[in-house]
Structures are given as structure tokens and as C-alpha cells.
Structure 1
Amino acid sequence: MEYGLIGERLGHSYSAEIHRAFGAYDYELVSLPPEKLEAFIRGREYRGLNVTIPYKQAVMPFCDEISGTARKIGSVNTIVRRPDGSLYGDNTDYAGFAAMAARAGISFDGKKVAVLGSGGTSLTARAVAAGAGAAEIVTVSRKGDVTYDDLSKAADSDIVVNTTPVGMYPHNGESPVSLERFPRCTGVVDVIYNPLRTALVSEAAERGVACTGGLYMLTAQAARAYALFCGAPLPEDRLEAVYRSLLASVENIVLVGMPGSGKTTVGRILAERLGRTFVDLDAAVEQKAGMTVPEIFARRGEETFRGYEREAAAEYGRQKGLVIAGGGGIVLSAQNRAALRQNGRVYLLERRLDRLETAGRPLSGDLSALREMAARRQPLYALACDTAIDNNAAPETAAERIREDFYEAACH
């Protein structure tokens, strides 16, 4: 092995995909139990390593030289074997975190910053904020001077940074704090990248607060590691291209709209064209309930159906790289909207009311009912979606417009 990532558990890592996309070397993932770490490092059958939890501090004694940045943060996440065989340790998380915040338009200069968490990543965030001129930095932890139960010393923070694992897969939907407790907040940074948008980031977006998840940090710190491995920086346009390609590969495409607007038809066409798995949430509900949607409404009522629907939105919304068609009323629940947006770009399919299919639709049996439903739901569709797509022509046309928009959005 020339280059790779070592850690104890690496099941959900994107590192190999990112480094291989840089195109300069092969890259492997190596899961190591603690008792084998020293032998692996001292064996030196590699040219460069990235290091993840729980070994970022454990590898430091094996390094012959450690960068000032790594010493300041107190951990090493990149090791380079020099031509003379000596090991140089550095920390590229600093560069990755700084690049992530800058790309989101979040400046720490003169701001009060609340950093949630007190671990290694918290040290990185605090170092970046201090280096960027933060006026004050408050660390929030379970047992420190400022705790989650008493945020009075942090409530006037301008920027909130989450470095805890709260909200990370598989615990999607959880959040370490509510932004209601930070009325002055103008920026949110969350280092979590799975899901793409945590509950904290989603709350910030709904409030119109500048925000970012951690996927760009992951890519940017890998680019800094590339520079250490290869002795030359990765071109900026290559970094952006790799990030956008990764984002497009993992982000879901989610279709919402009125009953009968063509979500299933367009979704199937789109999934086939993109080579993706298609998921119809109504079909998933029917499979679990053992009866059709109209039968669920007739025998068990709408409330039971909505319960099944929430479960389906939560299950498939946390997955990646899918095309998902939601039921017409999926947007009625804020919980569903958040579940589908966490890993998805959401499209609203629009079709004239007189062209909507009504057969077998429990709540939209005639045009009058459709008009009333559309009036109630339109604000929620607008809140849920990223882009509206006209579907009054052929479904293939709508599918192509979504495909074009999805990849155009991934390039900007």
C-alpha cells in the first residue's frame, strides 16, 4: 500500500473515493484494532497515511517531526514518510475547516463563536476561529463551564459550530441545540457530512442563516493531504470538481407535488436514465401495510397512513443516491420535509389541476376538492422544494429538465 486511511472503523468513509478522484495515486482503507496500530506505523510499508478516530493522538509519538498546526490542535491526521524514512505528522483538518467556512461565506472576524463539543475537532474549530480573528470563542460541552442546560454565556453568539456527532447517521434528525436559543446567529457550521444536511443545518437554512455541512471540509482536507503526499497543491478547480462529483453521486433526487402530478412516472424515467434506484414512498407504505393506499384510508384512516408515510420518509431520506417519489401529502409534515431534504434536492412537479389524475386518490376525487387541496398545500410545496418543474408536457421532458438542473446545481 502506498497511500491510505487508517482508523478503527471505516464503514462510511468517502476518503478512498475522493483521493482516487484526484487521479495521482491509489488509496486504500485499512481498519486497524488498537493492538496493531504501532506495528503498522513502524512497519512503514506506505508513503503517506491519513489517520482518523480514534488514532489521531495515538500516532503522534511515532512521528519524527510534527507540524506547528498539529501541535497546536493536539492531533495528527496525516503522516508522510520522507525520503530518509522519517515520519512527518500534520493536521489537514485545519485547512479543511477554514475552506469549508469560507466557501459558505461565513467569516469569524470580530464575531462571537459558540463551538459545540470539546473533542479534537472542537480544538480545530477553535484554532481556525481564533486565527481568523474571532472576538470571543465559547466552548459548549456536557460538563464544562458552559453546558447545554445553561447556554446563557453563549446565547449571544454570532456563529454556531457543531463538532459533536449528534445528528450523524444513523441518528439522523437529532440536533445538539435549537437555534431558537441563539437569536443573533448569522452562521452555522456543522462538521457532519452524513447526512449532507443535519437537523441543525436544515434549521439554519429555514431561518435564512448562512450554513454548511461537512462534506466540503472532508474534500478540502483531503486536498491538503494530497499536497503533502505529492509535494504540490491540488489545483483549485480540481478540488471543486471532485467535491461536486461526490455531492452529485450521494445526493438524492426527491419529487413532490399534487396527487396525480406524475411523480412516479417521471421518477421511473429519471432513475432509469441516471442508473439509480427508484423508490415510490406510497408503494413502500403499501408493502409495509399489506394493502393499497385507498384501503389504508378506508380501513384505518388518514392518521394511520401518515404514520406509515413518516416511517418511509425517515427510512429512505437517510439513504443516498436514490430517486424518491413522495405522496401528494408528504409535505404536510415538517418532519417529512426535513427527512427528505437531509440528503436530497427536492423538485416540485407542477401540472394543471384539470390534468391531474384522480382515480384511486382518497383525498382528491374531483376538481373542487383538488382546488381546495392545492390552495392549502401550495405554500408547503414551495417551502419544501428547491426547484419547480413543469410537467404539463411529456414526462420524458420533465425528467430531462430535472436531470439538467440537478447536475447544473452540482456545478455551482
Structure 2
Amino acid sequence: MSPRLVLVGPPGAGKTTVGRLLAQRWSTSFVDTDDLVQAEVGKSVQQIFIDDGEPGFRLVERAVVSQALSSHDGVLALGGGAVLDEQTRADLHTLPVVWLEASVADLAARVGMNRDRPLLLGNVRAQLTTLLADRADLYREVARWSVDTAGRSADQVADAVEETINADAHAGGSS
């Protein structure tokens, strides 16, 4: 069993919101791996970062993502940094992955000063600029498709994801 669709992208790209919409449209389940990490540890993502640091969070995230990729058959949203793990990237290569792209300006407007995003505390725009510079190639590496979220509502992004996947399927690509 493997996910019907995996969404990747930076914090604020809309993975959770769009993932829920797609799961609802397709009458399937939705899982956000950040929620699974919180359930596994019994703490918020922010508290895990405070108590265990980013390495502690990434260790739990890796195990949770591996399990979700092998057992979940609906729509799966990965935490923004899940692609930092080499094994996760390898696991994603055969799966239907969409990268939700967004500009720093759009991401900053969406996440604002959200304290639930511990990697973005402080100068949000600077943090996002660095994060995108570090991760864009990784998102590109694992994604079969990419969808630009700029200027689109969550419903419009979900429409674009469906159109992109369907166009590829009709063109003879695998989905």
C-alpha cells in the first residue's frame, strides 16, 4: 500500500489545507505527518524542538514518515523538512509527489508570526529565504509534479493539482 498522493513544500505552502481538500474530493483519508509526530511524542512540534532540538524532531519524523509512506493509502502531507532526510527522498522516488511552490512573500504572509512553526521564529522572511535556498532542489528532486500556489486560493490550488496530474496521465505519464 502506498499513498495516492504525497504533498511536499515549505511551511505555509498549503500542504495541509490542499491535502484535506483533495482527500475530501477523492473520498479518501488525509494524514499530515506533523500531526503523526505530535501524536507519537505527545508534544507539539514547537515543544519537541524546545526539548529535543531539530535533530530529535527529525529522528521521530523519519520513523513516522517511513511508516506513513508504507501504510497510508490516501493523501499524505509531509512536514516541510521531511525531504532533508536522504532515505525519505529515496522512498519518495516511486510515489506520486506534488511540490506546492510558493514565493517567500506568499509564505511569509501565510505563516506570519506563527509560534507553531519553530524554524520560522524571528525574522520570518530571512528564515524562509534560507529555508527555500536549502530545500528547493530537494523538493524538485522528489516531486513528479509542481504546482505554483501564487495568487490562488486553496480550492484553486487543489484544482491545479488535479489538472496537472490528469494532464500527465492523459499524456501517458504515470500517476
Q: Does TM, scored on the shorter chain, surpass 0.5?
A: yes
Instruction: Provide the C-alpha distance between the structure 2 equivalents of 1:326 and 1:404, rounded to a whole number of angstroms.
Output: 21
Task: Tell me the number of residue pairs that the alignment of Structure 1 and Structure 2 aligns.
Answer: 163
Q: State the SS of the aligned residue for 1:276.
A: coil
Is residue 2:104 matched to residue 1:353?
A: yes
Task: Kindly provide the amino acid, as one letter, of the partner of residue 386 in structure 1.
Answer: R
Task: Kindly provide the amino acid, as one letter, of the partner of residue 305 in structure 1.
Answer: F
Cross-structure match for 1:372: 130
Task: Kindly provide the amino acid, as one letter, of the partner of residue 275 in structure 1.
Answer: S
Equivalent of 1:396 in 146, 155, 158: 155
Cross-structure match for 2:82: 330
How far off its partner does 1:320 sit? 5.2
Report the CA distance shift for 1:251/1:258 in structure 2 as closer, same or farther (over 3 A).
closer
Instruction: Provide the C-alpha distance between the structure 2 equivalents of 1:403 and 1:348, rounded to a whole number of angstroms.
Output: 13
Equivalent of 2:40 in 260, 271, 288: 288
Q: State the SS of the aligned residue for 1:291.
A: coil
More helix by share: 2
Q: State the SS of the aligned residue for 1:389.
A: strand
Cross-structure match for 1:252: 4
Q: State the SS of the aligned residue for 1:347.
A: strand
Cross-structure match for 1:300: 52
How far off its partner does 1:318 sit? 1.2
Higher relative contact order (CA 8 A, sep 6+): 2
Report the CA distance shift for 1:349/1:399 in structure 2 as closer, same or farther (over 3 A).
same
TM-score relative to the length of structure 1: 0.38
Instruction: Provide the C-alpha distance between the structure 2 equivalents of 1:299 and 1:361, rounded to a whole number of angstroms.
Output: 15
The percentage of counterpart residues that share the same residue type is 36
Instruction: Provide the C-alpha distance between the structure 2 equivalents of 1:294 and 1:379, rounded to a whole number of angstroms.
Output: 26
| 2:3–2:76 CA contact under 8 A, matched in 1 | no
Q: Deviations over 1:155-201 (max 9, x none)?
A: xxxxxxxxxxxxxxxxxxxxxxxxxxxxxxxxxxxxxxxx7xxxxxx
Is residue 2:141 matched to residue 1:383?
A: yes
Q: Deviations over 1:120-170 (max 9, x none)?
A: xxxxxxxxxxxxxxxxxxxxxxxxxxxxxxxxxxxxxxxxxxxxxxxxxxx
Cross-structure match for 2:61: 309
Q: Deviations over 1:23-58 (max 9, x none)?
A: xxxxxxxxxxxxxxxxxxxxxxxxxxxxxxxxxxxx
Is residue 2:159 matched to residue 1:407?
A: no
Runs of 4+ more than 2 Å apart? 338-342, 404-411
Structure 1's unaligned 5+ residue stretches are 1-194, 196-249
Report the CA distance shift for 1:310/1:298 in structure 2 as closer, same or farther (over 3 A).
same
Q: State the SS of the aligned residue for 1:318.
A: helix
More strand by share: 1
